[in-house]
Amino acid sequence: MTASVTRATRTSTIGVVVVAIALVALALGPYWAGRDGMRLLIEAYTYLVLASLWNLLAGYAGLVSVGQQAFVGLGGYVLFALATLAGVPPLLCIPLAGIIAAIVAIPVAAITFRLRGAYFAIGSWVVAEVFRLGFSQVAALGGGSGTSLPAAIVQGMAANRTAREHLVYWVALGLMVAILGLIVALLRSRYGLALTALRDNEVAARSNGVDVERTKLVVFIFAAACTAMAGSLIFLQKLRITPDAGFSVNDWTALVIFITVIGGIGRFEGPFVGVVVFFLLRETLSDLGSIYLMILGAIAILIMLKAPRGLWGFLAERTDAQVLPLQRRVVARGK
Amino acid sequence: MNWVNTILQGVLVGGLYAMFAAGLSLIFGVMKLVNIAHGDLIVLAAYVALIVTDGLGLNPIASLLVVVPVMAVIGYCLQRGLLNRTMGDDILPPLLVTFGLSVILQNGLLELFSADSRRLQAGALETASLQLADGLSLGVLPLIQFGLAVAIIAGLHWMFYHTALGRSFRAVSDDPRVAQLMGLNNRHVFALAMALSLAIVAVAGVFLAVRTNFDPATGPARLIFGFEAVIIGGLSSLWGTLLGGILLGVVQAAGAELDPGWQVLAGHVAFLAVLAFRPQGLLSRASR
């Protein structure tokens, strides 16, 4: 009898097919979704990206950041700065924002990694506040009252408004697929194995030769770059940025954490479930204003206490399901 | 003389920051819990004080007689009813539950009291001051606030090392399992620590409310100031917390003197500098 390691299961085979069909349908979004539908979908894509990245940080690498809004706002501001002050085409600004954020993330990590566990969370928040207050001081970008993308630059992106909206939609979808694809690739690589080990038991991972600090640093830089690209896209769609909107802890971290916790932390599929639940709740309860946020917070607390692996984790533990072939398992085979 | 004044005012404000920090550092020391809702609980205490002063016609200092016990009871119940369920080796549950609590508190206060800024009126006490020299005077209220901060730190220090309660705090902190074997009820001890933390929060909240305007969204900044004071001073040192608060207050006051936009930013930068060059804090030898 021999044994081999495989990732695929029956559910993941079905899952891959379903994902492929869904992608084709989403790619055709501009032809069936309408203007409001497209805006909602773009928002869902960006939240899915932000939640998946936060999940990678907190759920796998043990880096519970409350300061990812630092990189959302940085991405947004890089877009506005490069496009308005240097004349760079807006779409080119998105990958540039990723590169700049990756470089900025190195000193940020050097300082905040000195704090452990929960103190890292607040330390990362302080960094985001430094960014917010710092950009409020930059007069060329409108200081505290922010800045808008000039009409000439916006109109230069495409022939007309419809074409521009389609373009932004496809860029958003493409960015989501690319970032989620990179996360899958990362989780299936050596780093993924190290990360999964880290998620399950940091001490055991360390004793088995996982370079914990290096793995955390790689994940932090990767998440920073991708978060900044998502941030650029968010503000390319909004066409206006202020320090308070760009570095909002509520919009870019609290909601993202709730989505991940509700869907399932430490599972690739969790943020998908979380985004669906979040948008369903929002579309039905948003009239309640601040009470809606209280309900969301209460649900997140309840899930953390009763089903700490979230809705997807709750389901997956009972059915052994996974949508994408990520989890390694040993299969015994008779000769 | 202007700069002497700035530094003195900064020192006095630092007492308030030390109060923010003392409650935070107490529960971290006893049960390794970092309470993200700490700042929102300070703001909650300020609103409780607002109700008490309006409803009973008490002045803010006298309102402490009501606000402190109320907050302590809230703390005990919060720990017993909710946070004890999150205690364990995993840092995620307490962090995320207190984060959720923070969002609930902010939005709950917003729903009840609207986003309007409020302030507690302390009457004649508010403007009373001691003239030290020409152009140099200290407000009586900031002096009381600073004195209370020193008293709280000294009291905590004495409590930790000279009372049965302090002994049980140190015991559950060193090893919760052995503490339990020795007959301590950890859940009760944790709840007492949170009650004490929120009693300090109550004092901080009342003085915050007299000193500045507050609204439901001002909590997170108080959490960050308290946290910065803890880290600047050194995690394991109570007197370090006081020093950290004072330094933060002075740096903020100096930043504001140079440019009003730099007040908070200067404090953050000082915190990051300490983290970069002396991560164990100023008054602590242990590395973290």
Nearest chain B residue to A108 by CA distance is B272
For chain B, give the mean pLDDT: 90
Per residue in A66-94, pLDDT tens? 999 999 999 999 999 999 999 899 999 99
Q: Which chain A residue shows the shortest CA-CA distance from B230? A: A119
Note the pLDDT tens digit of each residue in A241-293. 999 999 999 899 999 999 999 999 988 889 999 999 999 988 888 788 788 88
Name chain A contacts of B265, Cβ cutoff 8 Å.
Answer: 130, 133-134, 137
Q: What are phi and psi of B139, to 5 degrees?
A: -70, 145
Q: Is there a domain that residue B127 lies in?
A: no
pLDDT confidence of residue A105: 96
Q: Is B96 on the interface with A (CB under 8 A)?
A: yes
On whether any CB of chain A is under 8 Å from the CB of B276, the answer is: yes
| Structural domains in chain B (count) | 1
User: Does residue A23 register a pLDDT over 90?
Assistant: no
Instruction: For the full predicted model, state whether its pTM sits above 0.80.
Output: yes
Query: Which of B96, B110, B271 is closest, CB to CB, to A300?
Result: B96
Distance, CA of B11 to CA of B183 (rounded, Å): 43
Q: Which residues make Cβ contacts (< 8 Å) with residue B286, sequence separation at least 6?
A: B235, B236, B280
What is this model's ipTM?
0.90
Confidence at residue A321, expressed as pLDDT on a 0 to 100 scale: 67
Per-residue model confidence (pLDDT) at position B131: 79
**Of the given ranges (A322-331, B80-89, B188-197), which has the lowest mean pLDDT?**
A322-331
Asked if the C-beta of A304 comes within 8 angstroms of chain B's C-beta atoms, the answer is: yes
The answer to whether residue B166 neighbours chain A at the CB level (below 8 Å) is no
Task: Judge whether residue B257 has pLDDT over 50.
Answer: yes
Residue in this structure with the two tokens 């000082």, named with its chain if needed: B270
Q: Which two tokens stand for residue B45?
A: 């205490």
Percentage of the residues of chain B whose pLDDT score is greater than 90: 62
3-state secondary structure of B138: strand
- Judged by average pLDDT, the poorest of A201-215, A294-308, B59-73, B135-149 is A201-215
Helices (H), chain B: 2-31, 38-56, 60-81, 92-113, 124-127, 140-162, 164-174, 176-181, 186-211, 219-233, 238-258, 263-277
Q: Which residue shows structure tokens 């979040």?
A: A278
Chain A contact for B167, CB < 8 A? no
Contact B245, B227 (CB under 8 A): no
Pick the range with the lowest mean pLDDT from A98-102, A115-119, A218-222: A115-119
Q: Give the pLDDT score at A329.
A: 65
A304 CA to chain B: closest CA distance, Å?
6
Which residues make beta-bridge pairs with A5? A330
Q: Where are the domains of chain A?
A: 2-333
pLDDT mean over B128-145: 83
pLDDT value, residue B159: 93
**Is-contact B235 A115, C-beta < 8 A?**
no
Q: Are strands B129-133 and B136-139 parallel, antiparallel or unpaired?
A: antiparallel
CA B65 to chain centroid: 18
Q: What is the mean pLDDT of residues A290-299?
A: 90
Give the list of residues 6+ apart from residue A261 with CB closer than 8 angstroms, or none.
A274, A300, A303, A304, A310, B96
Q: What is the CATH number of the domain that holds B180?
A: 1.10.3470
Q: Which of B107, B113, B269, B274 to mutate to test the interface with A (most CBs of A within 10 A)?
A: B107
pLDDT at B73 over 90: yes
Tell which wins on pLDDT, A116 or A149.
A149
Q: What pLDDT shows up at residue B140? A: 87
The answer to whether residue B81 is domain-embedded is: yes
pLDDT score recorded for residue B284: 67
What radius of gyration, in Å, describes the C-alpha atoms of chain A? 20
Q: What is the pLDDT of residue B288?
A: 40
Are A133 and B265 in contact (CB < 8 Å)?
yes
Minimum distance, in Å, between the CA of residue B123 and any CA atom of chain A: 34
pLDDT, position A160: 86
Instruction: Judge: B224–A291 Cβ closer than 8 Å, yes or no.
Output: no
How big is the A-B interface in CB pairs under 8 Å? Answer: 121
Q: CB–CB of A301/B81 below 8 Å?
A: no
Give chain B positions within 8 Å (CB) of A58. 92
A113 vs B contacts (CB less than 8 Å): none
Is B205 domain-assigned? yes
CATH class of A2-333: mainly alpha
- Give the highest mean pLDDT range of A48-52, A162-166, B85-89, B142-146: A48-52
In a domain, B287, yes or no: no
Q: Which residues of A touch B91 (CB under 8 A)?
A: 62, 64, 117-118
β-bridge mates for residue A241, sequence order: A147
Give B252→chain A minimum CA distance, Å.
14
Q: Does B39 touch chain A (CB under 8 A)?
A: no
**Which residues in chain B touch residue A274, judged by CB atoms under 8 angstroms apart?**
none
Residue B285 is assigned to a structural domain of this protein: no
Q: How confident is the model at residue A333 (pLDDT cuts 50, 70, 90)?
A: low
Residues B222-249 have a mean pLDDT of 90
Tens digit of each residue's pLDDT (9 = 90 or more) over B102-113: 999 999 999 999
Q: Give yes or no for A295 touching B (CB within 8 A).
A: no
pLDDT digit string, tens, across residues B7-66: 999 999 999 999 999 999 999 888 888 899 999 999 999 999 999 998 888 888 899 999
Q: Is the pLDDT of residue B287 over 50?
A: no
Look up the domain containing B87 and give its range. Answer: 2-121+135-277
